[in-house]
Amino acid sequence: MKSNKKMKNNALVIIGDLGYPSGNALSNRAHLYSKSLKETDISPFIINTHSPHKTKQNFRFFDKYEGIPFYYSQKTVQYERKFLTRNLKKIKGIFHTLYIIKRLRKNNSITVLYYSIPFFYEFVYFLFLKFYRIPIAKECNEAPLFIIKEKRNKKLYTFILKHIELRMYDRIIVISDFLNQYYSRFLHQNKILQIPILVDMDRFRITSKNCQLHNEKIITYIGSMVANKDGLNNLIEAIYYVKKHITNFKMQLVGTANENQLQKLKDKVSSLNLTDTIIFLGLKKSSEIPEILSDSDLLVLARPDTNQSKAGFPTKLGEYLASKKPVVITVTGEISKYLKDKENAYLVAPDQIENFANKIIYALNDEDASLIGAKGYEVANNNFNYHLFGKKLGDFLFQSNHII
């Protein structure tokens, strides 16, 4: 006799403080996870736990972006300025999230992926998900905070991580060898999947409008301006040294920070007499990034030597390389695993400001710069193209699901 039991589809529910579908690195990675899974007939669904947008957006709280359905659990995309109202909405958002998951579970075999949410939220959702036997995965693309900030009592933090936090997850995804090796101390290897930075190569199939009708070269940095995560202070100082040898260039910085941090950077630029050289373009939409990169002559990233850079993997590197433009970058984390100096990028040891400046000068004058940019593109296409990871990700996330 034929069974009347209907086969359920696989669906991944990503729960995160993402602001999706805005174009920050976390949101973009979640989007590429979703696109890669759709190619394997796994249905993605993204739930935003917070509503961070302080300006009007062109999407609703329950909508789709490039075919990926998403939902804001507070039922608004706009940031609530009133403290009490905002926190009441957060509490309601927890129940809205659980309701959506319960609805999705009726017709799907679900795995939930935690992505950049506070531990309190993780624990609340854990109690619900375990009751319904829904597997939980966790995106771990940075080292634990107590390692990054080098806090004392690491043994206590490690104990909590090993015996409390990691026990909530059925599997985790890491972005680097450093994190893979770190978490392998606590979890069996079959519970860990390593996926590097991801990039949608199709976004960068555009023609540059930079016709070089003028003599000025354009150097571009895109990324975080918070603290010194990406070595922005080092980069500004390097530009000061470059300016002593080359004058026909502009440096554009794309990104933002809070008002105080941004003002400190502008003050530094002013103190070095670089106001006419370094331009702050502010935060740009994801759709604007390919053209900005394509119209540049050189792309730069001066990450310092920190625990954060050792464990992480700069997402923007994939986009840099996909633009076919030459890249000057410090050798931190996974960089040397994929790139070689003067072969497919220009590499510099971290925290060596004058050496970084000299490498910029060399790259701007290198007749083979366009060839190096083209070889960098091949590295991105062969290693970071999101199309390469759909099946591997799907098999990992749904390897032991039981249809209930």
Is residue 6 predicted with pLDDT exceeding 80? no
CA dist., res. 249 & res. 215, Å (int): 8
Six token digits for residue 83:
């403290």
Instruction: Please check whether residue 402 lies inside any domain of the structure.
Output: no
- If asked whether residues 187 and 265 sit together in one domain, one would say no
The DSSP line for 76-103 is -SBPP-SHHHHHHHHHHHHHHHHHHHHH
Helix/strand/coil for 15 = strand
Task: Check whether residue 57 and residue 181 sit in a common domain.
Answer: yes
**318 inside domain:** yes
Q: Does residue 403 sit within a domain?
A: no
Greatest alpha-carbon span in the chain: 83
Cβ-contact 169, 194 below 8 angstroms: no
Residues 266 and 315 in one domain: yes
- The secondary element (H helix, E strand) that includes residue 112 is strand 108-115
Inside any domain, residue 349: yes
Pair 81, 207 in one domain: no
When the pLDDT of each residue in the chain is averaged and rounded to a whole number, the result is 91
For residue 403, the model assigns a pLDDT of 38
Residue 189 resides in a domain:
yes
Q: Are residues 190 and 206 in the same domain?
A: no
| End-to-end Cα spacing for the chain | 21
Domain assignment of residue 94, given as a range? 9-195+389-397
pLDDT tens readout for residues 31-40: 999 999 999 9
Does one domain contain both 17 and 160?
yes
234 and 161 in a single domain? The answer is no
Q: How far apart are CA 386 and CA 36, in angstroms?
A: 6
Q: Is residue 109 part of a domain?
A: yes
With the CA atoms of 35, 40, 45 and 49 taken in that order, what torsion angle do they form, in degrees rounded to the nearest 10? -70
Q: Quick one: pLDDT at residue 55?
A: 87
| Model pLDDT for residues 202-249, shown as the tens digit of each residue | 999 876 665 554 578 999 999 888 767 889 999 999 999 999 999 999
**Same domain? 135 vs 60:** yes
Residue 25, pLDDT above cutoff 80: yes
* Together in a domain, 185 and 334: no
CATH number of the domain bearing residue 19: 3.40.50.2000
Residue 113 lies in a domain: yes
Give me the mean pLDDT over the 371-400 stretch: 95
What are the percentages of helix, strand and coil residues in the chain, rounded to 5? 45, 20, 40
Instruction: Give yes or no: residues 238 and 91 share one domain.
Output: no
Alpha-carbon span 316 to 329, nearest angstrom: 11
**Overall residue count recorded for the chain in this entry:** 404
**The total number of structural domains that make up the chain:** 2
Same domain flag for 117 and 177 = yes
pLDDT band at 178 (very low <50, low <70, confident <90, very high): very high
DSSP 308-320: HHHH---HHHHHH
Distances (CA, A) of 63 to 4, 20, 47, 53: 33, 10, 11, 15
pLDDT at res. 1: 43
- CA dist 23 and 314 (Å) reads 15
Within-domain flag for 177: yes
pLDDT at residue 213 in the model = 46
Same domain, 182 and 246: no
